[in-house]
């Protein structure tokens, strides 16, 4: 058993799960939140992305579940489906030693019918976005009447996205005795106002400052017409294995992505016009090294959780301080050092001053190190193959690995990350071996089954 987690009062299966996941010591927010949450105390917690906040609320939430009760006992609201998917994934990992526990994800952007089917037997834990939760309540498919724990994750982002009314409507469906755990990267006046309306005598936790990330941060000042050139120069200079690039609008996201691709950078865009499957493909390619640059708006990037992300680049500096905090919080996580660079034009100087006032210090300002020459592109080390089969087809990562390193004859080091979804699988293959892997999988199949396989990107 993991002594440090058990000492916080967690049941043995949850402490053992932490040990099996490689978590030896609780993070500051976990140390402060888990004990009080286990007693049923409401919490208002300030914690940045990457601070361990999901387990800070997830472990106490799971400890209070009665698996045999056949009723929904916990609800976690998230601002985006990507974050909801990540939270549900983390909860399932933490619950690996809890038998017969059902966790479902309910988000917009995907068909309603499969979600209705998943609710025919009430799940123990629901993770979802406000709009879809209300839609399923209206369909009389989801009941919150016996929810004991209500979590608002990244509450400040939900307020920024206009979910205040939806959150309040959901809260009215909960028992008055339900525990409420609110987690936010920032404590604005609006956050405190909604906390006052939902929480009862909450314990306030501010772990964000105690667990400050190690981020090297500066700005480059350029003229408006030099923005794309500046982004390419920074990427070529630092040559990160992966970089998340932020733009303030969908239009600029598309324009910058096209410019990067035209110059040979392994880049793609994440924006609100993509279908759910397209979003999953882009995120899978970014996570497995088939993309080195992901360009996104703040809203589209919510919930992206890439371990060890070395660099965040704001092609357009954030328009407010809270956005800036969320952006740079994607790097420098779990004790690693990160890099955060912002491109600023003279017309954006007021945004820069606003962020500097909020952070209490001016940015370092640096000149671009490369001359006005064509930037050297960043090719990707891997290519992604999509296999049209997944968990629902009883496909396992070991089956894919075995097919590639067995009959297909690839060396094990040529096979990268394997991401398994209900109906498909994405596997990263070293670029030099990608064509051979594609041909062999099409020819030989996996465990005797011929499956459709196609390259992405």
pLDDT tens-digit map of 387-438: 999 988 889 889 999 999 988 899 999 999 998 888 899 999 999 999 999 9
Would you say residue 162 has pLDDT above 90?
A: no
The tokens describing 249, both together, are 């609008």
Residue 453 pLDDT class (50, 70, 90 cuts): very high
Contact yes or no for 301/274 (Cβ under 8 A): no
Contact between residue 290 and residue 428 where contact means Cβ atoms under 8 Å apart: yes
Q: What structural domains does the chain harbor?
A: 3-206 (3.40.50.300), 214-365 (3.40.50.300), 382-456 (3.30.70.330)
Which of the 8 DSSP states describes residue 431? G
pLDDT classification of 51: cutoffs 50, 70, 90: confident
User: Is residue 161's pLDDT more than 80?
Assistant: no
pLDDT of residue 30: 93
On the question of pLDDT at 332 being above 80, the answer is no
Mean pLDDT of all residues in 104-132: 92
pLDDT of residue 368: 77
> How high is the pLDDT of residue 303?
62
Q: In DSSP terms, which residues pair with 246 in a beta bridge? A: 296, 314
What is the per-residue pLDDT for 97? Answer: 92
What mean pLDDT value characterizes the chain? 89
Select the more confidently predicted residue: 43 or 27: 43
Give the tens place of pLDDT for each residue, 273-288: 788 788 889 989 998 9
DSSP 301-369: HTT---TT--EEEESS--SSHHHHHHHHTTSS-TT-EEEEEEEE-GGGHHHHHHHHHHHTSPPEE---S
Residue among 312, 300, 245, 291 at smallest CA distance from 270: 300
Residues 6+ apart with CB under 8 A from 415: 401, 404, 405, 427, 428, 429, 430
Q: What is the pLDDT of residue 373?
A: 60
pLDDT at 334 over 80: no
In 3D space, the residue among 402, 109, 364 whose CA is nearest the CA of residue 220 turns out to be 364
Q: What is the pLDDT of residue 1?
A: 45
Q: How confident is the model at residue 210 (pLDDT cuts 50, 70, 90)?
A: very low
Lowest-confidence pick of 79-88, 112-121, 348-357: 79-88
Q: Look at residue 301 and tell me whether its pLDDT is greater than 80.
A: no
pLDDT of residue 20: 87
pLDDT at residue 80, as a whole number: 83
Total number of residues shown for the chain: 457
DSSP H or E segment with residue 402: helix 397-405
Give the pLDDT confidence of 231-253 residue by residue, as tens digits. Answer: 999 999 888 999 999 999 999 99
- Is residue 272's pLDDT more than 80? no
Tens digit of pLDDT for each residue in 178-199?
A: 999 999 887 778 888 999 999 9
Phi–psi pair at 285, nearest 5 degrees:
-65, -35
In this predicted structure, which of 44-48, 297-301, 448-452 has the lowest mean pLDDT? Answer: 297-301
Q: What is the mean pLDDT of residues 130-144?
A: 95
Segment 51-56 shows an average pLDDT of 88
**Residue-level pLDDT at 369:** 63
State pTM to two decimals: 0.65
């Amino acid at each position: 058993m993991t002594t440090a987690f058990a000492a916080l009062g967690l049941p043995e299966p949850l402490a053992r799960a932490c040990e099996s996941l490689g978590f030896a010591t609780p993070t500051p927010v976990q140390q402060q939140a888990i004990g009080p949450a286990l007693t049923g105390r409401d919490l208002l917690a300030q914690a940045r992305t990457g601070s361990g906040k999901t387990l800070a609320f997830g472990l106490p939430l799971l400890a209070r579940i009665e698996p045999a009760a056949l009723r929904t006992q916990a609800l976690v609201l998230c601002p985006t489906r990507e974050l909801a998917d990540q939270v549900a994934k983390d909860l399932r990992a933490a619950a690996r030693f809890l038998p017969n526990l059902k966790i479902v994800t309910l988000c917009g952007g995907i068909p309603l019918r499969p979600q209705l089917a998943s609710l025919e037997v009430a799940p123990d834990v629901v993770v979802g976005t406000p709009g879809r939760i209300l839609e399923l309540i209206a369909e009389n498919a989801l009941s919150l009447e016996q929810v004991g724990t209500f979590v608002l994750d990244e509450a400040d982002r939900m307020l920024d996205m206009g979910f205040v009314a939806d959150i309040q409507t959901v809260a009215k469906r909960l028992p008055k005795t339900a525990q409420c755990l609110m987690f936010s990267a920032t404590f604005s006046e609006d956050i405190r106002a909604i906390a006052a309306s939902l929480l009862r005598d909450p314990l306030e936790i501010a772990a964000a400052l105690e667990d400050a990330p190690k981020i090297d941060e500066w700005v480059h000042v350029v003229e408006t017409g030099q923005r794309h050139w500046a982004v390419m120069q920074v990427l070529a200079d630092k040559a990160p294995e992966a970089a998340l690039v932020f733009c303030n609008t969908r239009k600029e996201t598309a324009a910058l992505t096209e410019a990067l691709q035209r110059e040979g950078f392994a880049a793609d865009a994440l924006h609100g016009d993509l279908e759910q499957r397209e979003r999953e493909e882009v995120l899978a390619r970014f996570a497995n090294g088939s993309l080195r640059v992901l360009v996104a708006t703040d809203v589209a990037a919510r919930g992206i959780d890439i371990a060890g992300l070395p660099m965040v680049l704001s092609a357009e500096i954030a328009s407010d301080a809270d956005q800036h905090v969320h952006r740079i919080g994607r790097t420098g996580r779990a004790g690693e050092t990160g890099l955060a660079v912002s491109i600023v034009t003279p017309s954006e100087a007021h945004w820069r001053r606003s962020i500097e006032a909020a952070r209490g210090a001016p940015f370092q300002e640096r000149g671009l190190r490369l001359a006005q020459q064509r930037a050297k592109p960043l090719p990707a080390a891997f290519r992604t193959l999509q296999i049209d089969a997944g968990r629902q087809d009883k496909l396992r990562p070991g089956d894919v690995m075995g097919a590639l390193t067995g009959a297909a004859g690839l060396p094990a080091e040529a096979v990268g990350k394997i991401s398994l979804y209900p109906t498909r699988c994405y596997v990263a293959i070293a670029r030099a071996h990608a064509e051979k892997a594609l041909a062999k999988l099409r020819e030989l199949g996996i465990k005797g089954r011929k499956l459709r396989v196609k390259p992405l990107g």
